[in-house]
Amino acid sequence: MALIKGLKAGTNAFIMILIVLAILAMVNILIARAFFRLDLTEGKMYTISKSTKTVLGRLDDIIKVTAYFSKDLPPHLVNLSQQVKDILDEYQVYGHGKVYTAFIDPKENAKIEEKMPAIGIPEVRAQTVEKDKAQVVNVYLGLAVEYEDKKEVIPLVQNVNTLEYDLTSAIIKVSQEKAKTIGFLTGHDENDIYDDGDYSAVRDELQKAKYSVTKVDTTNGKKINDDVDTLIIAGPKKQVNERDKYEIDQFIMRGGRTVFLVDAIQMPRGMLYGTPLSTGLNDMLEHYGVKLGNNLVLDQSMSNVSFGSNIGGMSVSYSLPYPYWPRIIKKNFSQTHPITNQLESLVLPWTSSVEVVAAKGGEIKAEELVKSTQHAWTVQGQYDLNPQQRFSQTPSERKSYPLAVELSGKFKSFYAGKDIPKVESTGEEKSSSSENEAGRKTLGESKETQIIVVGNANFIANNILGGLGGSQANANMIFFQNLVDWLTLGEELINIRSRGVTDRPLKEDLSEATKSFIKYFCTLGIPIIVVIFAFVRFYLRRRTKRLFESYQA
C-alpha cells in the first residue's frame, strides 16, 4: 500500500510539474505576442518612445537594421548586447512588418568581416580578464541601417542611453529624399563653425546628426540658396547691411526657418568688460514680433564660473557664483513647447532680454521658450563684468525676463512696398549684383514658417562649453540641437534626445538653512539612517530568535 501511495504521489507531482510548465509556456507565448515588458527606469530608457513609434508608423518600405556584434564579448559587454537585442525587438514589433532586424557576428563569416571597413563599422579593442590575466580582445559593436539604396551607420554602441535617438535619427535620415542642410551666415564676423576656438563643436554635433552644414554668403546681393533648410545667424559683430537683411528676409518669405543668436555686447578677448553692440538686426526683428533688449540680464539663479588672474607672476584660478551667467532651471522653460518641455538646465552667459511685441502684419503666434527667474535684473551702458564686484539691487528692480522666443506663422516682409536695397560695390561686383537683381520681385508675405530668437550666441561656443564642462555643457548643446531639429525635422527627435537630460540643479529659491540641511543630511544623515536600520534589524532578529527558542522549550 505504501508503495502504491508513493507511486500515486510521484505521478501526481509529475503531472503537476507538466501542467505548471505548460502554463508557463503558454504565458511566455502570450507575453511574446503582446510584447509586454516592464521598464522601471526613470525616463523609460529601455522602452521606445511615442515619437519613435510615430516615425516607424510612417515608413512606406522595409528598413533593415543589422547589428554587427561579436558573440564572444567580455563580461562587461554581454549585458549591452542583450539590451541592444531588446531594443531592436521593440523596433521590429512596432514597425509592423516594415522593420527587419538581424544580429550578425562578423567573425563567424570571413567574407562579411572583409566587408566591415567598407560598411563603416570598425573592429574595436576591449579589455577582459581571463585566468586572472588582463587581455585585450577585438570585437564588433556597430549597427547599420539600410533603406533602398541608402545606408546610415552607428559605428560603435557604447551604451543604450542614446541608442534610440541614434537609431531613429538614422531611420529618418535614410527614409528622407535628401539630407537636410543647415546654413550659417557669414560676412559679419559671426561665430565660425570651422574655428576650433569658436563653433567647431556645433559643426561636429550637427554633422554627427547627419546634417549637411554649410556657410551662407549674402555679400554682393547673393541670394540664399533654396537648398538651405534652416539658417543660423550666430553672433554677428559687424553691422548687417540692408541688402544682406533683405536676403535674410526673402529667405524667410520663401518659408525658410531661421535662428537668430544675437549678442547685446562686444567683449575684447581676455577682458572682463563690454561695450554695446549694434548689429542692425533690431528693426527687422521688431517688425517680425521680437524686441532685443539693449541690456544684460543678471539673475540670482546663476552658474559658478572659473576665472584666472595673475598675482605676483603666478597664475591663480578661482570659482565664483556669477550673476552674468543666468542658470535656467526646469520651471523657467516653456512646458508646452517640444524644444524645452523636457529640459532641466541651461546657462546663458552675458545674455540680453528678448521681448515679444506686436508683429507688423501677418498672423504670428509667439511663445517664450526660456525666461529668467523672478529674481533677475538688468544693466545697460558700459558693462563692468568683473566677477568680484559687489552685486546689490533693490527687490523692486527684479523681475522675470524672457531670454528666448519662438515665432510661428505667416510673416509680412520687412521690405514689402520698398525698393530692393542696392549693393554697395563697384566694377565686376556691381555687374554681378545687377544680374542677381534682374527680374527679382520682393515677396510680401511668407509661407507658414518659424523664427527663433535667443539673446545670446556664446552659450554653445567651444570656450564656454569647456568652462561649463560635463552635463551642463551637454545640456546647453542639447538646447541648440533641439532648436535645429524642431525647425528642420519636426519634434520627434527632440522628445527622444531630451529623455537623457538629467542635470537638475537645486531650486533657486531655497533658503540657506534648507541648503545646509540638504548638504548635511546627504553627508551625515543617510549613513546614520543605515546604521540605525542595521541596529533595529539586529535587535528584531535576536528577539525573534529568543521567542523561537522559548517556544521550543
Chain segment 396-436, per-residue pLDDT in tens: 689 999 999 999 999 999 999 999 999 976 555 555 555 55
pLDDT value, residue 46? 64
Among 94-108, 123-137, 158-172, 198-212, name the one with the lowest average pLDDT.
123-137
Asked whether residue 437 is assigned to any structural domain, the reply reads yes
Interval 110-137 mean pLDDT: 84
| Position 454 pLDDT exceeds 80 | yes
Residue type, 13: A
| Percent of the chain scoring above 70 in pLDDT | 81
Residue type, 350: W
Q: How far apart are CA 479 and CA 346, in angstroms?
A: 8
Q: What is the pLDDT confidence band of residue 2, given thresholds at 50, 70 and 90?
A: low
Asked whether residue 195 is assigned to any structural domain, the reply reads yes
Are 444 and 386 within one domain?
A: yes
pLDDT value, residue 395? 62
Question: Which grid coordinates are listed for 255?
Answer: 518659408
Final residue in a domain of this structure, among 128, 150, 171: 171
Are 257 and 394 within one domain?
A: yes
**pLDDT greater at residue 422 or residue 1:** 422
Asked whether residue 366 is assigned to any structural domain, the reply reads yes
pLDDT value, residue 209? 82
Asked whether residue 479 is assigned to any structural domain, the reply reads yes
- Per residue in 205-232, pLDDT (tens digit) is 999 888 999 999 999 999 999 999 999 9
Are 111 and 212 within one domain?
A: no
Q: Is the pTM of this model over 0.95?
A: no
| Position 441 pLDDT exceeds 70 | yes
Are 467 and 529 within one domain?
A: no
For residue 104, the surrounding DSSP H or E stretch is: strand 99-104
CATH number, position 115: 3.40.30.10
Mean pLDDT estimate for the chain: 84
Domain count, the chain: 3
| Three-state SS annotation for 162-184 | CHHHHHHHHHHHHHCCCCCEEEE
**pLDDT greater at residue 431 or residue 178:** 178
Domain range enclosing 305 = 181-500
Nearest to 46 by CA among 85, 104, 77, 101: 85
The DSSP result for 224-256, as a single string, is PPTT--EEEEE---S---HHHHHHHHHHHHTT-
| Position 444 pLDDT exceeds 70 | yes
Are 140 and 204 within one domain?
A: no
**pLDDT greater at residue 523 or residue 80:** 80
pLDDT value, residue 501? 47
| Position 500 pLDDT exceeds 80 | no
Are 235 and 352 within one domain?
A: yes
Asked whether residue 54 is assigned to any structural domain, the reply reads yes
Q: At residue 333, what are phi and psi to the nearest 5 degrees?
A: -95, 150
Final residue in a domain of this structure, among 149, 171, 193: 171
Asked whether residue 75 is assigned to any structural domain, the reply reads yes
